[in-house]
């Protein structure tokens, strides 16, 4: 579980952080990361880098920008559709506006509530996030080395690719990209459904929709694709048949 709190009032930020940490400790929940900030850009950066079960508590008005929290929520939704998002605000009249932003907020928390009531709503948001995770019931890909730690539902993974920076890889998922330092040689050994199709790519066999022999291309949903070396096509298909996977095959 990863928790993100955006609040530009220092006293409110400290208050909400205390409430969140108290609820977490009381329920003995495991939190991988806890980001508290007054800067929307920083929160967005950390959220893009953090893969997993995310919960967001966002102030709507930031630095006198009355809709900045809503704008941030829309940016978050572009890569994290399942994250549980609650607005923490004194502007309850903004509730109908969230529909125009299509951010699908789970809850509104009023800063003027007493601490106990806020804690109840925090607990409700975290419980909702846990329910989503349990309903998802998906295998998790977990990666950890001296540089980074992250986890992502395995079914979200399309492929890993090298980048222009030495030893830096990019994980391409259905809804986000994750850059991290590692080698493809270690990635391909981490699961039987991971297969190196090219010196620059390791793919998730489960998400291949089509293999084009003539073009040397592996296709995924949402118009994603990557290269497969011609000498790798036969072993790729053999591995997929062995795992009872049946992609479409172009001559």
Per-residue pLDDT reduced to its tens digit, 188-228: 999 999 999 999 999 999 999 999 999 999 999 888 999 99
- Three-state DSSP at 126 gives helix
Are residues 217 and 129 part of one domain?
Answer: no
Calculated CA dihedral for residues 31, 33, 38, 40, nearest 10 degrees: -110
Are residues 130 and 10 part of one domain?
Answer: yes
- Please give the pLDDT value at position 137: 47
CATH number (domain holding residue 106): 3.40.50.2300
Q: What is the mean pLDDT of residues 87-94?
A: 72
In this structure, which long-range contacts are made by residues 133-142, counting pairs with CB atoms below 8 Å and at least 24 apart in sequence? Answer: 133/53, 136/82, 141/190, 141/191
Q: Is the pLDDT of residue 172 over 90?
A: yes
- 102 band by pLDDT with thresholds 50, 70 and 90: low
Give the distance from CA 120 to its chain's centroid. Answer: 25
Choosing from 83, 105, 136, the residue where a domain stops is 136
Q: How open is the CA angle 48-50-52, to the nearest 5 degrees? A: 120
Query: How far apart are alpha carbons 27 and 98 in whole angstroms?
Result: 30
How many folded domains does the chain comprise? 2
Q: Is the pLDDT of residue 159 over 70?
A: yes
Query: How far apart are alpha carbons 94 and 108 in whole angstroms?
Result: 10
Q: What is the mean pLDDT of residues 95-109?
A: 66
Q: What is the mean pLDDT of residues 117-136?
A: 77
Are residues 145 and 54 part of one domain?
Answer: no
Q: What is the mean pLDDT of residues 93-114?
A: 70
Are residues 22 and 111 part of one domain?
Answer: yes
Are residues 7 and 96 part of one domain?
Answer: yes
Are residues 58 and 151 part of one domain?
Answer: no
Domain of residue 70, residue span: 2-136
- Please give the pLDDT value at position 141: 86
- 43 band by pLDDT with thresholds 50, 70 and 90: very high
**210 CB-contact burial (10 Å; exposed 0-12 / middle 13-18 / buried 19+):** middle
Q: What is the mean pLDDT of residues 101-120?
A: 83
Choosing from 83, 104, 136, the residue where a domain stops is 136
Are residues 79 and 10 part of one domain?
Answer: yes
Q: Is the pLDDT of residue 157 over 90?
A: yes
Non-local (6+) Cβ contacts of 78 within 8 A are none
Please give the span between the terminal C-alpha atoms of the chain, in angstroms, as a whole number.
45
Choosing from 109, 136, 163, the residue where a domain stops is 136
Q: How far, CA to CA in Å, does 102 sit from each of 85, 209, 222?
A: 12, 30, 21
- Check residues 26 and 102 and name the one with the higher pLDDT: 26
Are residues 153 and 128 part of one domain?
Answer: no
Rg (CA), the chain: 21
Q: Is the pLDDT of residue 133 over 70?
A: no
């Amino acid at each position: 579980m990863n928790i993100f709190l955006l609040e530009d009032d220092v006293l409110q930020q400290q208050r909400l952080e205390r409430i969140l940490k108290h609820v977490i400790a009381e329920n003995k929940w495991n939190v991988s990361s806890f980001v508290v900030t007054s800067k929307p850009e920083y929160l967005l950066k950390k959220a893009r880098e953090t893969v997993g079960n995310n919960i967001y508590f966002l102030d709507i008005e930031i630095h006198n920008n009355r809709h900045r929290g809503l704008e941030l929520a829309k940016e978050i939704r572009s890569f994290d559709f399942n994250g549980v998002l609650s607005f923490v605000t004194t502007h309850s009249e903004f509730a109908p506006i969230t529909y125009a932003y299509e951010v699908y907020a789970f809850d509104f928390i009023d800063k003027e509530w007493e601490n106990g009531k806020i804690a109840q709503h925090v607990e409700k948001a975290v419980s909702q996030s846990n329910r989503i995770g349990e309903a998802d019931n998906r295998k998790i890909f977990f990666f950890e080395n001296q540089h980074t730690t992250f986890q992502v539902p395995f079914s979200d993974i399309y492929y890993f690719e090298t980048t222009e920076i030495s030893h830096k890889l990019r994980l391409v998922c259905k809804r986000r990209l994750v850059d991290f330092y590692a080698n493809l040689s270690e990635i391909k050994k981490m699961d039987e459904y991971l297969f190196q199709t090219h010196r620059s790519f390791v793919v998730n066999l489960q998400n291949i929709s089509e293999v084009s022999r003539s073009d040397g291309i592996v296709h995924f949903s949402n118009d994603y694709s990557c290269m497969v070396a011609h000498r790798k096509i036969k072993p790729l298909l053999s591995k997929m048949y062995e795992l009872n996977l049946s992609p479409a095959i172009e001559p």
